[in-house]
Structure 1
Amino acid sequence: MADFIAWVLVVVIAAYACGGGTDYGAGFWDLLAGGAERGKRPRWLIDHAMAPVWEVNNVWLIFVFVIMWTGFPTMFQAVFEAMWLPLALAAVGLVLRGAGFALRKPSRRLAQRRLYGAAFAIASLVTPFFLGAALGGIASGRVEVGTTASAHAWANPTSVITGLLVIAASAFLGAVYLCSDARRFGEDRLVDYFRLRALLAFAAIVVLALIALPVTHDDARYVWEGLTRGLGLLMVVLAAVCGLATALLLVRRSYGWTRYTSAASVALTVGAWGFAQRPYVLPTTLTVADAAGAAHTLRWLAFVTVVAVVLVGPALVLLYRLDTLGRLEPLTDADTQASGASETDG
């Protein structure tokens, strides 16, 4: 049962990496879009593409925390004691990012729009970095039960390179998805705009991955050995194939499958980490079995997970499907004003 819950946790992390990562990537390109006039069209597309699903994507992070503290309370305590600072900074970034995105569009003054836009964009860069840094600290074996908080746990070579890889992967996902969204909105210029940025982000991932090879070998040896053999290696190879397939499709301007291949590359990378780290949740000191909560708690958690998949899963699939088909459009200011006028007249 503990192994089942552990793999559920890995799957949910992968879902957040693909869903929330896309939103972080959109925020990254929002930051680099330029001034108010130059960045007007890219930011318009980002607002319209993210609005229908961005809150749903953040639900995956809630699932991660609930599964951690319910299924693996010892791990949860150890991670949050050792990593409270980067995780707190990531949490602040999440709040500022959501507030900036929600408040930017209805703001009338240019100064306010710039302020909220800056909060959204900068937090979209900071938050994934600190989440990746925390993950790197765990993978490098710097977190154990009883580890006190220190910069050593998350400001180390593996944490830094993981944080940068998370940013690059998010930028890659965001640009790929925005290519498809630009086609949906009939914005041919923005298709080429984000196509170029997706290819640049993929190149950055390749460079960072090459740098990560010796870093992981020296600094996170257990995970390195898991990634270079067995199922971990297989998942890495499949992730690389999906990433290369996405780049090739972008070069050929064939966008039909790019959403799926890019998301698969990220999800498979998370899966590779899961296989590389087993049977530990904290390499090499805390196994899945030792970190697991009470047996009856795990049984109820597994039951709730199955119920959630049956009841919520189809609704999420339908939501994402409707979004990719362009059936979900956010209300415009004109819509809300018209609604308010109707209520007043009534």
Structure 2
Amino acid sequence: MADVIAWVLVVVVAAYACGGGTDYGAGFWDLLAGGAERGKRVRWLIDHAMAPVWEVNNVWLIFVLVLMWTGFPVMFQAVFTALWLPLVLAAVGTVLRGAGFALRKPSRRLARRRVYGAVFAVASLITPYFLGSVLGGVASGRVAVGTPATAHVWANPTSILAGLLAIAATAFLGAVFLVADARRFGADDLVDYFRLRALLAFGAVVVLALIALPVTHHDASYVWHGMTRGLGLLMMILSACFGLVTVALLVLRAHRWSRHTSVATVALAILAWGFAQRPYLLPTTLTVADGAGAAHTLAWLGIVTLIAVVLVGPGLVLVYWLDTQSELEPLTDADTRAAGLPGDNV
């Protein structure tokens, strides 16, 4: 049962990386959209694309936390003790990002919209970077039971590269999804805009991945060996193949399946990390068996997880499907318009 829960945890991390990553990527492109007039159309599309379902992605983050502290309390304690600062910064980024996004649209004053938009965009970089640095700290073997909280644990070569890869991967996902959303909302002028940015983001992912090869060989040797052989290598090859397929679809302007292949690219890379790290929760000091909670706790956690999948899973799938098929009624500017104030739009 401990192995099953561990793999559920990896799958949920992959789900959050893809679902939440898409939204972080949209925030990344919001940051680079330009000034108020130049970036107006881009930000309009991001607002309309994200508004219906973006909160759903936080379900995966909560699921990760519940699985960690219930199923693997020793790992939870070790990770949150050694890496409390980047985790707090990621949490702060999540809160500020949500607040910035929620307050930007109803605000009628241009100055306020700029402030809220900047908070939303900058926080969209902070959160994936620090979450990536946490994964890097764990993968490099710097986290063990009793490890004190020091900058060395999360400000090391592997953590820095993992943080940058997280930003690049989310930018890639966000751009691919926004290509499809531009077509869905009739913003034909933005299709090529985001298509180019998706290709550039994929190029950044490839460059960072190539840089990571020699760095992780020296700095995270256990995970590096796991990713260069066996099922870890297979997952990485499949991830690369789906990435290339996504690029081909974008180049050929065949966007129907590009969302699916981009998600597969990121999800398979996360699964490769899971295969590379096994049988350890914390390489090379804490195995899944040693870090698991009590047997009856794991049994109940498995039952609750199954119930959640049966009850919540179909609802999530339905929401995503309705959104991508434009079956959800979008919010109009009139729905979110705040009361006029002196100095609005100034």
Give 2:193's aligned residue.
Answer: 193
Counterpart residue identity of residue 159, structure 2? S
- The Cα of 1:285 is off from its aligned counterpart by 0.1
Alignment-mate amino acid for residue 66 of structure 2 = V
Aligned equivalent of 1:227: 227
TM superposition shift of 1:336: 5.7
Q: Is the 8 A contact 2:100 2:120 kept in 1?
A: yes
Q: List aligned pairs for 1:95-110, cutoff 5 A.
A: 95-110=95-110
Alpha-carbon deviation of 1:268?
Answer: 0.3
CA distance in 2, matches of 1:58, 1:45: 21
Is contact 2:105-2:336 (8 Å) kept?
Answer: no
Once the two structures are TM-superposed, the CA of residue 331 in structure 1 deviates from its matched residue by 2.1
**Other-structure match for 1:65:** 65
Question: Is this contact kept in 1: 2:106–2:336, CA < 8 A?
Answer: no
1:60-112 residue CA offsets vs partner (Å, 9 max, x unmatched): 00100010000000000000000000000001000000000000000010111
Q: Distance in 2 between matches of 1:308 and 1:215?
A: 39
Give 5+ residue unaligned stretches, structure 1.
338-346
Partner Cα separation in structure 2 for residue 46 and residue 185 of structure 1: 11
Distance 1:304 1:195 in 2: 41
For 1:273, give the aligned amino acid: W
Q: Which residue of 2 aligns with 1:259?
A: 259
Alignment match, 1:293: 293
Distance, in Å, in 1 between the alignment partners of 2:32 and 2:163 is 19
- Give the aligned partner of residue 344 of structure 1: none
Q: Quote the offset at 1:335 in angstroms.
A: 3.4
Deviations 1:246-288 (A, max 9, x none): 0011011110000000000000000000000000000000000
| Structure 2 residue matching 1:119: 3-state secondary structure | helix
Q: Which residue of 2 aligns with 1:243?
A: 243
Structure 1 vs Structure 2 CA RMSD: 1.0
Residue pair 2:239, 2:269 contacting (<8 A) in 1 also: yes
Alignment partners' CA distance in 1, 2:67 and 2:25: 26
- Displacement, 1:58? 1.3
Deviation at 1:332, TM superposition (A): 2.0
Q: What SS is found at the alignment partner of 1:334?
A: coil
Please report how far the alpha carbon of residue 326 of structure 1 lies from its aligned counterpart in structure 2 after TM superposition.
1.1
How far did residue 182 of structure 1 move?
A: 0.3
Equivalent position SS for 2:335: helix
Q: Does 1:39 align with 2:39?
A: yes
- Of residues 323-332 and 93-102 in structure 1, the stretch that sits farther from structure 2 once superposed is 323-332
Secondary structure of the equivalent of 2:281?
strand
CA distance in 2, matches of 1:167, 1:47: 20
- Residue 119 of structure 1, CA deviation: 0.3
The 1:42/1:329 distance shift into structure 2, 3 A limit, reads farther
| C-alpha contact 1:48 1:329 (8 A) present in aligned 2 | no
Deviation at 1:157, TM superposition (A): 0.3
SS of the aligned residue for 2:142 comes to: coil
Task: Find the residue that maps to 2:67 and give its secondary structure.
Answer: helix
CA–CA separation in structure 2 for the residues paired with 1:319 and 1:73: 32
Distance 1:306 1:92 in 2: 31
Count, aligned residues: 338
Q: Aligned letter for 1:41?
A: R
Describe the SS at the equivalent of 1:145: coil
Match in the other structure for 2:309: 309
Q: Which residue of structure 2 aligns with residue 120 of structure 1?
A: 120
Contact 1:24 1:124 in 2 (8 A): yes
Instruction: Tell me the distance in 1 between the aligned counterparts of 2:238 and 2:323.
Output: 27
The amino acid across from 1:272 in the alignment is A
Residues 160-208 of structure 1: per-residue CA shift (max 9 Å, x gap): 0000000000000000000000000111110000000000000000100
1:21 aligns with 2:21: yes
CA distance in 1, matches of 2:275, 2:334: 50
Structure 1 CA distance for aligned equivalents of residues 147 and 216 of structure 2: 21
Q: Distance in 2 between matches of 1:5 and 1:79?
A: 18
Secondary structure at the counterpart of residue 143 of structure 2: coil
Aligned position for 1:340:
none
TM-score norm. by structure 2 comes to: 0.97
Question: Which one-letter code corresponds to 1:51 in the other structure?
Answer: A
Partner of 1:138: 138
